[in-house]
Amino acid sequence: MDSYEQNYINGQWVDSIGGTPHQVINPATEEPGTKITLGTKADVDAAVAAAKEAFKTFSQTSREERLALLGRIVEEYQKRMPDIAASLAVEMGAPISLGNAMQAPAGLGGFLGTMEALKDFQFSEKLGANTVVYEPIGVVGMITPWNWPLNQIALKVAPALAGGNTMILKPSEECPSSAAILAEVMDAAGVPAGVFNLVQGDGPTVGAAISSHPDVDMVSFTGSTRAGILVAKAAADTVKRVHQELGGKSPNVVLPGAKLEEVLPPTIGGVMLNTGQSCIAPTRVLVHKDQNSDAIAVVKNIVESQEVGDPLAEGNHLGPVVNKAQHGKIQDLIQSAIDEGATLESGGPDLPTNVNRGYYVKPTVFSGVTPDMRIAKEEIFGPVVTLMSYDNLDQAIEIANDTEYGLSAVISGDPAEAVAVAPQLKAGMVIINNWGPAPGAPFGGYKQSGNGREGGVYGLRDFMEVKAISGLPG
C-alpha cells in the first residue's frame, strides 16, 4: 500500500497536527490502496501562515523569475508522469494507458499553457489618463476534485504562481497521491518555502477551514454545485474572492441531417472516456426525430464496443468509477430511467459480465428520454448516454438550455450551420464536432456551473487583482 501520511508546509514534509488516518479504497479491488492522514484546521492555520509570510517576497518576483520557476516545474513534472498515472489507476480507477496518454499530460498542459500566457501578459495598461495594473491577489486556497486531478490542480497552481501568489492546496481525499507527487515536483523544482503548501483532508474539515480562513484572500474550488455552494457560504463572512468550476449536464445538439457515422463517434467518446467522469461529458444527445432510429443504432454500436477491465492493464478499456457512493448514484439513476419509461438500449444496472468485484458500470444507452426525467436533469458522472428527440431546431435549443447547469455544449453537424446555433446555447464553452476544451481557451460555465475562468490568459487574470492608478505624471 502506498503511503502519503504527511502534509507539505513551508517547504517541508510535516506530520499533521491531530489528523486521523484514512485509507483510500482501490475501486477495482474494493481493498485499501493508499494511506493518508486527514488534516485539521490547525494544519490549515500552519499552511496559511507559511503562505502569508512567503507572499511578502514571492509577490515581488519578476515575470522572468516566475517563468524560470514554471520551466523547472515542467521539467520535474515530466519525470514523474508515470508515477502520477500509476497512482490514478489505484485510487480512481483510471486505466494506466489513459493516465499516461491523457490524465498526466493534462496537468503538464496546464503549466505549459500558463507559461505561454505569462510570456505576453500585460501587467500594466493605459486607460485614458489612468493606469490599470494587475497585481497578485495574495494567499489562494485551492480545493480540487478527483476526476481529472492533475488537470484541475495545474489550472489553479500554475496561474497562481504566474501571478505571484502563494497557495494552500487541498486535493480530494479520494485521489490524494497525485497531489503529493506534485508537491515532490514543486520541492525538486525549487519552489520557495511557503509558496506552495499541501494539506490533505476532507471538505467538511480542511475545505471549510480554507474557505473561511480570514488570511486566505481567494478560494478556488472545482467540484459539485452542492459543495460549491457550501464553499461560497463559508467564504462569505470574509468577503474573499470565490472562483468556482462546478457541475455540468452538457447537451450534444445533433443538427438535422448530420452525418451520424461521422459526427457521433468523437462526441459519444466524450461520454465514455474516463468512465464518464468528466464534468463536460456531453451525455444529453439531442437528435431530430427523423434520425432517431439511425442515431440509436450508431450510438449502440459505439457504446457496445467499449470494454471494461483492470485499470492496471494496458489498453483502451474503461476502468471502474471512483468509489462505492458514486457507483450507487449511477445505478440509482439508471434504475430511475427504467422506472420513468426510458428505453434501455444497451447496458443497464449490475456489474459487467467479465468482472465479479469493483465499482464497474456497464456502458449504457437510453433512448426515449424526456426532459422531465431524472437522468435528463442530474449529472450522471458515469458511462451513460441518453438520447432525446426533437421536432425542430428551436425545440432542440430549448431542451439544451433546459438545465440549471451551463458548463459546456456540443454541436454535431455542419460547422457552417452550427454558427447560428452556438450563440443561442447558454454555456461557457461551445464545441463543434468534438467535446474537449480547446487549449488556451477560457474554461468555465454559466448558471450553476460556476463563476470565473481557468486556462490561458483568462485564467491568469482571475488569479490577480486589478488596480486603477489615477493622477500619474504624463
Size of the chain, expressed as the number of residues it contains: 474
User: What cell does 387 get?
Assistant: 438520447
**From the candidates 173, 175, 279, 379, which is the catalytic residue?**
279
Q: Which helix (H) or strand (E) holds 279?
A: none
- Cβ proximity of 245 and 454 under 8 Å: yes
Q: Where are the beta strands (DSSP E) in 340-474?
A: 343-346, 364-367, 384-390, 405-406, 408-412, 429-432, 446-447, 450-451, 464-469
Nearest to 253 by CA among 282, 222, 296: 282
One-letter-per-residue 3-state SS of 99-131: HHHHHHHHHHHHHHHHHHHHHCCCCEEEECCEE
Nearest-angstrom CA–CA distance, 36 and 279 = 26
The question of whether 261 is a catalytic residue gets the answer no
Half-sphere CA count of 89, side-chain side, radius 13 A: 22
- Name residues whose C-beta falls within 8 Å of residue 423's C-beta, 6 or more positions apart in sequence: none
Nearest-angstrom CA–CA distance, 307 and 316 = 8
The question of whether 245 is a catalytic residue gets the answer yes
**From the candidates 76, 91, 174, 245, which is the catalytic residue?**
245
Look at the alpha carbons of 345, 437, 454, 199 in this order and tell me if their dihedral is positive or negative: positive
Residues with a catalytic annotation lie at 245, 279
